[in-house]
Amino acid sequence: MSWQPILLGIQWLFFGYFILIYAVYAGLNVMAMIQIRRYLHIASLTDADNVFSTLDLPISVIVPAYNESSTIITATRAMLQLEYPDYEVLVVNDGSKDDTLEKLKEEFSLQPFPEAYRQRVPCQPVRGVYRSLRYPSLRVVDKENGGSKADAMNAGINACRFPLFCAVDADSVLELDSLRRAVRPFLEDPYVVAAGGTVRIANGCTVRGGFLEKVGLSRNFLARVQVVEYLRAFLFGRMGWDYLNAVLIVSGAFGVFDKEAVVEVGGYNPDAIGEDMELILRLHRLMRAEKRRYKITFVPDPICWTDAPEDLSTLKKQRVRWHHGLAQSLMLHKGLFFRRGGGAVSWLAMPFFYIFELLGPAVEIVGYAFMTVAAIVGWISWEVTGIFFCLAVGLGVLLSTSALLLEEMSFHVYPRMRDLFRLFLVAIVENFGYRQLTVFWRLQGLYGWLRGNKPEWGVMKRSASMAGGE
């Protein structure tokens, strides 16, 4: 029996896989362009009349904090200065072992408050609720540690008062008008149940008093690569899926939710590693099952800035954890896969996430290994292997550049010309080593999930930009 047809088949399988994944990305790119143009049209209309309307919905900003002693004061102060007519800030101290609560008590003159707390979604017991004597819109919930951000978020949901809530990380840097921009989809469409915001990398930016003062690019290579990665993930990844109402992830760093919808699905899952994605999948599942009209949408404006890891060890832990979380969430909701009446979520987004996002690292690694070994032992020609690697790298560069194009068509966040050149250089260089390294980490995440390991949380070393903002 000749092995030639089998080898040829395998070779075409890998080629086909790569071409298909990039074809889908190209499609997402086109949809993202349409969606961003549409968004900017409407935004230009409503921005022209920059007056707060009495129709703005009140919102609770929930800030979970575990051992955030060094950042919590700046973060809370920044949250209290957001431009929005009616909102409250709810800091949830998740049983911190450091002096997070003491610092909050001292800085904001907190007093115990006899809150008639009701538990609508499960979480660890609440030890007390405090209210600020100086800021009427600030409350602090002190609870026993639940071992997860999800548990702290659930306590916040139980205690918050407004119909919308905004989930924010304590180390997120928000734009002054973040809330107004993120709430707009809820005003424009009564069927919106969740809206995600675009998260950008704060490394290299100037942050003062918890607010972004000047946008810049970090000198650190890893941070720069993550700028391009985030552009890809948010601008065409999520905006593309938004076009189809099939957004599967709303970042935990910043997202606005309809509280009743979240309570209906039982709140965040404390056992989920990627609690943000898991919640969105659960919302899709419920809404689809009950045939309810709904929309989970995405705001492309850069409204939230976050610190990215600048060392390989922390980055590795983050990527392993993210992939573990992805695997867990997708498997928990495999019922959404090819479900009748599931729309683009079931028939496009879920298969895409399973085949290309979840299994992508395995296929990619096996593909690289197979093509290399096959070329060495002479099963296939070096020309074919060369074409394969050129295709993989070239398409990667093309995708990253198209993300830069989307950014340039819309927000021009990086004002200096030399930043554009640097980002383009990064878009090329990241395909030689960095991408393969992250693919390997993602594979480790997948393996860890299969083995039932619990992923590690790295201790995030704060970048100079964020440290300067304290």
Partner 1 sequence: MAFLLFAIVLGLRASHILNKRHLETLRATWWPIFAETAASEQFAADAVLPPVRARQRLMLLREWSRFRGLVMGQATVSLNTLAGRLDLLPLARRYMHRRSVANRLLGLQVVGQLRDRDSWDAISAAVEDPNIALSVTAATALTDIDPDRAIPRVIPLIGTFVRWPRTQVGRILNRAGPDIVSTRLCREIADAPFDAAILLLQFADSAYAGDINAVAEKLLTTRQEPALLSAALKAARGRICPERVVELTRHDVWYVRMQAATFLGRAGTFEDLGALEPLLSDREWWVRYRAAQALVASPFLGPNALRRIASRQKDQFAHDILQQALAERGLA
Residues that bind partner 1 (CB under 8 A): 41-42, 44-46, 48-49, 53-56, 113-116, 118, 120, 131, 184, 187-190, 394, 397-398, 400-402, 404-405, 408-409, 412, 417, 420, 424, 427-428
> Cβ 137 to partner 1, closest distance in Å?
12
CB of 419 or CB of 470, closer to partner 1: 419
- Cα dihedral 82, 237, 335, 439, rounded to 10, equals -110
Minimal distance in Å, beta carbon 184 to partner 1?
Answer: 8
Q: CB nearer to partner 1: give 155 or 427.
A: 427
Tell the burial category of 135 from Cβ atoms under 10 Å away from its Cβ (0-12, 13-18, 19+): middle
Shortest CB 117 distance to partner 1, Å: 9
| Residue 401: CB minimum distance to partner 1, A | 4
DSSP code of residue 358: I
d(CA 448, CA 301): 35
C-beta of 143 vs 321, nearer to partner 1: 143
Query: Whole-number minimum distance, CB 422 to partner 1, in Å?
Result: 12
Report the residue number, 156 or 342, with the smaller CB distance to partner 1. 156
Quote the least distance from Cβ 173 to partner 1, whole Å.
25
Residue 36 beta carbon to partner 1: minimum distance, rounded to whole angstroms: 13
Count of helix runs (H) and strand runs (E) in the chain: 17, 12
Nearer to partner 1 (CB atom), residue 263 or residue 460: 263
User: Toward partner 1, which CB reaches closer, 55 or 459?
Assistant: 55
What's the token pair of residue 432? 């030689």
Compute the distance between CA of residue 196 and CA of residue 188 in angstroms, rounded to an integer. 15
Distances (CA, A) of 405 to 32, 242, 253, 395: 11, 19, 25, 15
User: Rounded to the nearest whole angstrom, what is the least distance from the CB of residue 249 to partner 1 in the complex?
Assistant: 25
One-letter amino acid for residue 98 of the chain: D
Smallest distance, Å, CB 293 to partner 1?
A: 10
Question: 113 or 457, CB closer to partner 1?
Answer: 113
405-444 CB burial, b ≥16 within 10 A, e <16: ebbeebbebbeeeebbebbeebbebbbeebbbebbbbbbb
Strand partners, 211: 208
The one-letter code for the residue type at 361 is P
Cβ proximity to partner 1: between 66 and 257 the closer is 257
Instruction: State the nearest-atom distance from the C-beta of 200 to partner 1, in Å.
Output: 18
Residue 147 or 216 with smaller CB distance to partner 1: 216
Q: Which is nearer to partner 1, 106 or 408 (CB)?
A: 408
Phi, psi angle pair for 305, to nearest 5°: -120, 140
Amino acid at 264: E
Q: Which residues pair with 30 in a beta bridge?
A: none
- What distance in Å separates the CA atoms of residue 69 and residue 235, rounded to the nearest whole number? 33
C-beta closer to partner 1: residue 2 or 54: 54
Residue 134 has φ and ψ, to the nearest 5°, of -95, -30
The DSSP secondary structure of 234-251, one letter per residue, reads IIIIIHHHHHTT------
Min CB(169)–partner 1 separation in Å? 28
Cα 345 to Cα 167, 281, 299: the distances in Å are 23, 9, 19
Please answer whether residues 99 and 202 qualify as being in contact, where contact means their C-beta atoms are separated by less than 8 angstroms: no
